[in-house]
Amino acid sequence: MKATPENQRTLLDIADLDRKIGQAERASKTPAQGARINELAAVRKQQLGELTALTGILDDARADLRRLESDVALAAQRRDRDAERLATATDPKQAQALENEIESLGRRISSLEDDELDVMGRVEEAQAAVDAQQALIDQTQSEGAQLTAAAKAEMAAAATEGEHLSRDRAALAASVAPELLADYERRASRGVGVGLLRRGICEGCQMMLAGTDLNEVRRAASDDVVSCPECGGILVRTDESGL
């Protein structure tokens, strides 16, 4: 194949744009924050599970407290009722029985109130644990929201950059002979499309050409499209090629 040296050199610019377009496409689909966002999602799921367990402990403690409060209220009502009956009792035996029961109810109320204090302590501890866990979840959600917003902004910026680069590529491609461009794109789809020959090294694959290969390149006309024997890409020759 024949192509002007200018067209061949333009392929290097097109290849550079293709590389940048590829980077922009990847950035528009897989933001740098993606790994951390996924990690935070897993952390949040675990934290929510822990919050559920802690909330269960808190609910149990509150239920115990409500039961004790109900028991205290019932015992106090019964004590007060016995006290009213004692005030009007005329039978000594009945009065003694009421006094004994009032005394027993007093001890029970005192014991229940001691239990109430213990359970209130459990409720406070459980509530503090729930609040601390919720704070961790809020922190995780906040970081996740910030990273998600940043990722969306970067993805949108990358998509816009990709559009600009594609327009620049189209403009350059229009200046290249169609058959040369098709040849480059075919090679690029398989690996290296084009590489600059600099001081005997193909910059497409970073391999140094053997002496016999360099001699063949030297013998080729300036408008011949030559290939790198190592990577198969179009080998662009310039004054830096060292031929």
For residue 226, the surrounding DSSP H or E stretch is strand 226-227
Residues 180 and 219 in one domain: yes
Written as one string, the DSSP assignment of 171-213 is: HHHTTS-HHHHHHHHHHHHHS--EEEEETTEETTTTEEPPHHH
- The more confidently predicted of residues 137 and 1 is 137
Structural domain for 215, as ranges: 5-26+174-241
pLDDT in tens, 54-84: 999 999 999 999 999 999 999 999 999 999 9
33 and 20 within one domain: no
Residue 4's pLDDT band, with cuts at 50, 70 and 90, is very high
Say if pTM beats, i.e. exceeds, 0.75.
no
The answer to the question of residue 163 being in a domain is: no
Do 94 and 127 belong together in one domain? yes
Same domain, yes or no: 39 and 135:
yes
CA angle, 130 as apex, 48 and 116 as ends, to 5°? Answer: 140
Q: Judge contact between 17 and 239, C-beta under 8 A.
A: no
Q: How confident is the model at residue 230 (pLDDT cuts 50, 70, 90)?
A: very high
